[in-house]
A = this chain, B = another copy of it.
Amino acid sequence: VDETASPAGAPLSLYRTRVRPEWLDYNGHMSEAFYVLVFGYTTDALLDEIGMDAARRELSHTSVYTLEGHICYLAEVRADEHLRVTTQVLDLDHKRARIFHEMFRGEGDERVATEELLLCNVDTRASRSAPFAEDVAGALRSFRDAHRDLPVDERVGRAIRLPEGR
- Interface members, chain A 83-134 (any B CB < 8 Å): 91-93, 96, 98, 116-118, 124
Question: By the criterion CB–CB under 8 Å, are A71 and B68 in contact?
Answer: yes
- Nearest B residue to A161, CB-CB: B157
Q: Taking the complex as formed, is A70 at the interface, i.e. its CB lies under 8 A from any CB of chain B?
A: yes
With A and B bound together, what is the CA distance between A151 and B26 in angstroms? 35
Question: By the criterion CB–CB under 8 Å, are B68 and A73 in contact?
Answer: yes
At the interface with chain B, which of A10-18, A34-42, A45-53? Answer: A34-42
- Nearest B residue to A158, CB-CB: B159
Of B26, B68, B93, the contact of A54 (CB 8 Å cutoff): B26
Of B26, B63, B117, the contact of A27 (CB 8 Å cutoff): B63
Shortest CB distance A134–B (Å): 18
In the assembled complex, which residues on chain B have CB atoms less than 8 Å from the CB atom of A118?
Answer: 160-162
Question: By the criterion CB–CB under 8 Å, are A159 and B162 in contact?
Answer: no
- Nearest B residue to A118, CB-CB: B160
Which of A54, A96, A162 gathers the greatest number of chain B CB atoms within 10 Å? Answer: A162
7 further A-B contacts with Cβ under 8 Å, apart from A68-B70, A68-B71, A117-B160, are: A32-B40, A65-B73, A69-B160, A71-B71, A98-B160, A116-B160, A118-B162
